[in-house]
Structure 1
């Protein structure tokens, strides 16, 4: 690969900026998924409480779990790219080829189960899922 006119340091900085942009985009995606999870789950629970029945609460639970998995994917990817960034910014820049976006080598260090069951994910989606189950049980007993 040829080095641009700015030199190897400038090329390395561009690579790090590219990685930072990717990490930021993945973080934004995770935030948006959480917003959609709250909106959809809340809407389905409201529909269930207003007469649609306990099946709406069960659907809310299923969608909460689906959003949990999607959010886990984005956060796992973010952590993988953070690992790549740390390696690229390290003292030995030759460990990572310039403009490499290959994060597969870090997959072992970031297992998706650990991401899915992290404190923040378990708290956010666990509370939502527990609420969905509670409302479904309440509506089933009421029916």
Structure 2
């Protein structure tokens, strides 16, 4: 092996290591973004429930679903991109000649859409729980809005009006 071959192999290994570091950095950022999205999802959902409950704005309860699905979709997007970069990482480790040095192109990776990323079990479990919490809150807030009359009590239509005589034989 000549000195040029050794130098070429060493520079190829150095490029490969740097490339792997770059891709790993992107994977770490995407994983961190997914973690932050989960935190914001829960925080925003709870904050909106509290605000709606305290202001008696129960007509706004369907608005609670918007951030739940928005954060779920965003988390699915980050997960799908993370999986794409994991595929790129594997190809670099395997010395795939189809991956140019320092390429960050994941379009050539068999990448599932963000929609399929949304339906991964980890996201279904977390965001499904948040969705269930919001749905139960919506039902409870809606039930609190229109309480049912107590058994045996008169409805507003049956109650005597002030200044009118009550039916014969019944106390006012």
The TM-score, its normalising length taken from structure 1, stands at 0.87
Q: Determine the structure 2 residue equivalent to 1:102.
A: 105
**1:44 is the counterpart of 2:45:** no
Structure having the higher helix fraction is 1
Q: Determine the structure 1 residue equivalent to 2:120.
A: 118
Structure 1, unaligned stretches of length 5 or more?
none
Counterparts in 2 of 1:14-25, with a 5 A limit? 14-25=18-29
1:126 deviation in Å? 0.7
CA RMSD after TM alignment: 2.0
Q: Report how many aligned residue pairs link the two structures.
A: 139
Whether the aligned pair in 2 keeps the contact of 1:88 and 1:95 (CA below 8 Å) is no
Tell me the SS of whatever aligns to 1:104.
coil
Tell me the SS of whatever aligns to 2:97.
helix
The TM-score, its normalising length taken from structure 2, stands at 0.74
Aligned partners of 1:101 and 1:78: how far apart in 2?
A: 12
Query: Which structure has the higher relative contact order (CA within 8 Å, separation 6+)?
Result: 1
- Tell me which stretches of 4 or more aligned residues in structure 1 moved more than 3 Å: none
Aligned partners of 2:19 and 2:124: how far apart in 1?
A: 33
Aligned partners of 2:111 and 2:84: how far apart in 1?
A: 8
Structure 2, unaligned stretches of length 5 or more?
1-6, 146-172
* Structure with larger Rg: 2
